[in-house]
Amino acid sequence: MFIVNVICSDPDCAEEIEAVVETVEEIDDVVCECHCGTVLLSVADLNTGAQVIELRPRGSAGRIAA
């Protein structure tokens, strides 16, 4: 199981969603209430307590580790 944080892919929507998914593939199924897709911000593994990896906000290059 994973905890994922995503934001709406629509730049005019500020929705941020935290969801629990069974597999990494299920992240693609998380959609915004406005029916747009989402952009992944972070993933945490619930089973092992693994380190959370966060991606930079829109407009920034690369990624950062939490």
E strand or H helix that includes residue 7: strand 2-8
Q: Mean pLDDT over all residues of the chain?
A: 79
Task: State if pTM tops 0.85.
Answer: no
Higher pLDDT, 8 or 60: 8
pLDDT tens sequence across 29-57: 888 889 898 899 998 877 655 566 666 66
On the question of pLDDT at 60 being above 60, the answer is: no
Domain coordinates in residue numbering, the chain:
2-65
